[in-house]
Amino acid sequence: MRIGHQALRAAVALAIVAPLLSAPSGRVFAASPLRANPVYRLMLRQTAGIRTSECDIEVQTKLRSFPPASFTFRGHSYFEAPDKQAVVFDNVPGPLRGMFKDSPHIAPAPLWPARYEVTIAGDDGSSTTFHLVPKDPDSAIDHADVIVDDNTGLVSRFTFVNKNGSTVTTDNTYDRVGRYQVVVSQTGSANGRGYRAEVTSTFSNYQFNLVIPDSVFEEIQ
């Protein structure tokens, strides 16, 4: 079941990243050249004012490995500025919880200058692709490409490539909740040696600026 575990970790990575890529941070790296990019500045403005957030999450995963399998996980996604994030599933078997805690993820946009070497990989006039290379040599991620709508500052697609050669790609769909545009659904795929996973996730019942116990982020999921 080793291959299945790798696929599930990749699927959970999709779920962790979705609501958090443009999440706000209490730290602003004004000296970074990235701050001069108008699309990046749009990203930072999208969720200004959010200190914490919580939402319900459902992840449906189909493993195209042998034997094929399907899973549905339900739980909650949490964020607290500047960089605390967690996905806590309600129906994950005990042996899998520790595996989920260490799933790779991309930091919120305000932390990019501190965490990554960031370059502009392309701009087709409607969207900009940011290429992120982790500064941490121990990161499991080799690089990530994040496509952002030039007019809204919303992340439409991201792809990250792990050092083990596996890849994760996802597309986001947004809707307005109160004053914020948030991810409400996501489709993606994870590919690695011996497996392919197709993932559909939904995010609902968003709450903002609530008190989240520290234990949520310390808990082994």
Q: Per residue in 17-55, pLDDT tens?
A: 555 555 554 444 445 788 889 999 999 888 778 889 999
Q: How high is the pLDDT of residue 220? A: 45
The percent of residues above 70 in pLDDT, for the chain, comes to 78
Give yes or no for a contact between 191 and 167, defined as CB atoms under 8 angstroms apart. Answer: yes
| Average pLDDT, integer, range 196-203 | 89
Q: What is the pLDDT of residues 49-62, one digit of tens each?
A: 888 999 999 988 88
Give yes or no for a contact between 184 and 47, defined as CB atoms under 8 angstroms apart. Answer: no
CA 184 to chain centre: 13
User: Which range of residues forms the domain containing residue 98?
Assistant: 2-218
Q: How high is the pLDDT of residue 93? A: 60
CA 3 to chain centre: 22
| CA pseudo-torsion sign 17, 79, 205, 89 | positive
- Considering the entire predicted model, what is its pTM? 0.84
Give yes or no for a contact between 159 and 190, defined as CB atoms under 8 angstroms apart. Answer: no
Mean pLDDT, the chain, integer: 82
| CATH code, domain with 36 | 2.50.20
Q: What are phi and psi of 175, to 5 degrees?
A: -150, 165
Number of CB atoms found within 10 A of residue 14's CB: 26
Give yes or no for a contact between 5 and 179, defined as CB atoms under 8 angstroms apart. Answer: no
Number of CB atoms found within 10 A of residue 129's CB: 18
User: For the chain, what is the domain count?
Assistant: 1
